Amino acid sequence: MHGASAIDSVRTAGGRAVISRVLAMAILLTAAMAFRPGPAAAQTPPSFADLAEKLMPAVVNIATTQQVQGRNRDLPQAPPGSPLEEFFREFFERGRPGGPPGSRRATSLGSGFIVDSAGFIVTNNHVIQGADEITVILQDDTQLKATLVGRDDQIDIAVLKVDPPNKKPLPTIKWADSDKTRVGDWVLAIGNPFGFGHSVTAGIVSARARELSGRYDDYIQTDASINKGNSGGPLFNLDGEVVGVNTAIIAPSGGNVGIGFSIPANLARNIAEQIKEYGRVRRGWIGVQIQQVTDDIAENFGLDRARGALIADVVAGGPADKGQLRKGDIVLSFNGREVPDSRKFPRIVAESRVGDTVDAVIWRSGKRSTLKIKVLENQEPEKQNAALGQGGSGKKPPEPAQPQPSTIDQLGLTLSRMTDQLRERYNLADNVKGVVVTKVTDGSVAADKQMRAGDVIVEINQSEVASPADVQTKVKEAQSQKRRSVLLLVDRQGDQRFVALRIQN
C-alpha cells in the first residue's frame, strides 16, 4: 500500500511538472503568434487619427442652391447643431431675395476633394446638377463660391473651380492606382453625411466591378459607412491616396446598411482630367456592335474558353471598318488591355485616348491576329437603321407562288425564304438577306435563346444562307462533324447578333 502510494505521489508530482512546462510553452507560443507581424498586422494601424488629420484639409463640403416653385413640399433640415445649420437657414429657409412669387431656394449637401492646388475640385455630377449657386466649404469653415468647369452624367463626375483664399495654394490629395485595390483592403471615407461635415468612417473593400445601371459602371463596393451627403467625397487607401469617389448607396431603410459604391479612381481621374483640359469628356469610339461570348459561341469559334467581345456588326466607314475588323471577330485585347468579357470592352474603348492608333488582338479563323485601329471621339450619334422597304406608290403585288415554310426540328425553328410579303409583315429592310423565322417551337433551344418570328438568319457557322434547305444542310454538316451546336448570325430589325443553338436530336 505504502509503495503504491509513494509511486502514485511521484507520478502525480512528475505529471504536474510536465503539465506546467507544456502550459508555459503553449502560452509563450500563443504570445509569439499574437505578436508576429503578418500582412494584415503590418498594414493595419492602431489608429486612423494621423491619416485622417493629414487628409481632411483637402476634403470639402459642397452646398448647392436651386430656385424651385412651390412651398408645400417637405423641406429637408440640417441636423441640429450641425456646422452647416446657419448656412442652411441662410440659403434655404429665408428664400431667395427677389425670387419669383411662390418660389423657394432648395439646398442640397454633398462632398468633394481638391485635386489641384489652384482650386480644382472633384465631386459627383448629381451633387451639383441643376444648381444655381455652388458653395465650397473648407475644413476651417471658409466658404468659397465655385464655378462648374464641366460634368459627365454617364460616370457621374463633375469638376469645380474655386479661387484659393489669399491666393495661397490649397492642400491636395493624390489619386491611387485603383486597379491594385483588392477585396479586403482597408479604406477610409471622409465626407459630409447628413450635413455633419468632415466625418470619417473606416471599412474594407467588399467587392470590385459592381454594376448598377450605367453602361460604364465599374464600382468599388465598400462597407465603410456612406450616407446621404457623402456623395462626391473620397475613399482613401491607407497610403492616403484616393481609390474611389463615393457615389451611391443601397439604403432600404434610408440609412447606411454597409453597402456603398465608389467610382474607381482610374476611371474618375481620366474623366476629371479630360474635363479640366477640354471642359467636357472625350470618349473613344471605334464603331462596332458587340455581344457576349458564351461557352457555346466559344466552342463554335474554336476558342479555348468564353472570353473577349464578339463583333456582331461594324459601322461602315468607321474606325473598326477601316482597321479591317470584321463581323464575327472576337476582340481579346485592346490598347494593351485584356478584354475579359463584352461588358468591359466599351469601357476600355471609351477610356482610350482619342486620336491614338492602338493594337487590337483578335481571334479570327481559329488563330490570333493583331489589327491597328484609330480611336475617334464618340459623338453619341443616333443609330441609323436601314430603310424599311416601304417606298414606292402603293403595295407591291403578291408573288404568284409563295414558298412553303420548313421546320428544322433540331433547332425548333420554322423557316421561310425571304419574300416581299414577309418583308412587309415583319417590317424587314430591303437590304436584309437571309432566311426568315416564321415560328419558334415552344420549349425549344431557339425559344430558350429568345428567338422570335421576324428574325432573319443571315449566316450559319459563318456561311451565308438563303433558304431553309441551306439551314438544314448546315445543321447536318455540324452533326456529321460531331459538333453539339451551330452558330447563327441573326438580324432583328437592323440589329445583328450571334446566337449559338444546341442541336436537338
Per residue in 130-155, pLDDT (tens digit) is: 888 899 999 888 999 999 999 988 88
Question: Domain of 62: which CATH number?
Answer: 2.40.10.10
Q: Which of 231, 262, 342, 352 is catalytic?
A: 231
Question: Domain of 304: which CATH number?
Answer: 2.30.42.10
pLDDT exceeds cutoff 50 at 334: yes
For the chain, how big is the Rg over CA atoms in Å? 32
Residue 389 in any domain: the answer is no
Give every CB contact of residue 152 below 8 A, 6+ residues apart in sequence.
Answer: 125, 158, 271, 275, 280, 281
pLDDT exceeds cutoff 50 at 1: no
**Is residue 239 annotated as a catalytic residue, yes or no?**
no
Degrees, nearest 5: CA angle 466-467-472: 120
Average pLDDT over residues 240-261: 78
Q: Which of 108, 111, 156, 352 is catalytic?
A: 156
What residue ranges in 17-102 does DSSP mark as E strands? 59-69
**Residue where a domain stops, chosen among 245, 278, 311:** 278
Residue 449 backbone phi and psi in degrees, to 5: -90, 10
Total of domains in the chain: 4
**Residue where a domain stops, chosen among 167, 202, 231:** 167
**Residue where a domain stops, chosen among 256, 278, 300:** 278
Do 265 and 358 lie in a common domain? no
CA distance 339 to 359: 12
Q: Which domain holds residue 467?
A: 406-502
Judged by DSSP in three states, 341 sits in coil
Do 412 and 444 lie in a common domain? yes
**Is residue 156 annotated as a catalytic residue, yes or no?**
yes
Residue 34 in any domain: the answer is no
What pLDDT is stored for residue 199 in this prediction?
83
pLDDT exceeds cutoff 70 at 363: yes
Do 114 and 214 lie in a common domain? no
Residue 33 in any domain: the answer is no
CA distance 77 to 80: 8
Q: Which of 126, 321, 406, 420 is catalytic?
A: 126
**Is residue 103 annotated as a catalytic residue, yes or no?**
no
Over residues 53-83, the pLDDT tens digits come to: 899 999 999 988 876 655 444 445 555 555 5
Do 62 and 149 lie in a common domain? yes
Residue 220 in any domain: the answer is yes
Determine contact, residues 199/191, Cβ cutoff 8 Å: yes
What pLDDT is stored for residue 415 in this prediction?
93
Question: Whole-model pTM above 0.85?
Answer: no
Do 296 and 268 lie in a common domain? no
pLDDT band at 430 (very low <50, low <70, confident <90, very high): confident
What pLDDT is stored for residue 253 in this prediction?
60
Do 65 and 159 lie in a common domain? yes
Do 151 and 58 lie in a common domain? yes
